[in-house]
Chains A and B, each alone.
Chain A
């Protein structure tokens, strides 16, 4: 099956610094990638939809300047958490939707990144 690699799996950073999370589709091309955030024991929250070669579409309430998304190629999207604060500590998950297959193609998920801001 299709593989999505997310890196790093865990990261601890100091408050005020920036952290970059990578999402790669390893054996397929993905025009569209999704970024989610999940708080412990709560639902998965869609943060933004990333489209290759264009600006990401952010969900209501998600700060664009805080969570920078770059989808520069058909196999890579990055999420940068800028000036991180302890409240940004969370579990971030990406998913990638294969370019081929039409509108009903399902997306494949990365392993997730556990971000802890101290």
Chain B
């Protein structure tokens, strides 16, 4: 079956670094997406990985290992506004998005 696993909730301190892990099992693979969703708002795109390795975009980086079915989202220099849910989604061979349940990130001062 197809499945996306990510932690339900994480807590971190303002200014620190946090890594949100995601493991995936999809029928075929056409990429791994990360989205940020603030409470009550639509999700916003953060990153897309289809090749192995790390992609950096400012304070956010995303990593993919296709052989391990594993990805992580790395957030540096955490700010209070980073408190949100982070959604991991894998795209299968039919271009269907398989969504994780989301990781609620709580930032403390």
Contact = CB atoms under 8 A, between A and B. Distances in A.
Interface of A: 1, 9-10, 34, 36, 38, 40-44, 46, 91, 93, 95, 103-107, 109, 111-112, 114
A10 B85 CA distance: 29
The range of chain B's interface size is: 20 to 34
Contacts of B35: 44
20 contacts: A9-B96, A36-B42, A41-B31, A41-B50, A42-B48, A43-B44, A44-B33, A44-B43, A44-B45, A46-B42, A91-B97, A93-B97, A103-B39, A103-B40, A105-B39, A105-B40, A106-B85, A106-B102, A111-B96, A111-B97
Contact of A107 (B42, B45, B50): B42
Interface string B33-63: 1010101101111001010000000000000
Interface of A (DSSP majority class): loop
A107 B42 CA distance: 8
Contacts of A105: 39-40
Interface of B: 31, 33, 35, 37, 39-40, 42-45, 48, 50, 85, 94-99, 101-102
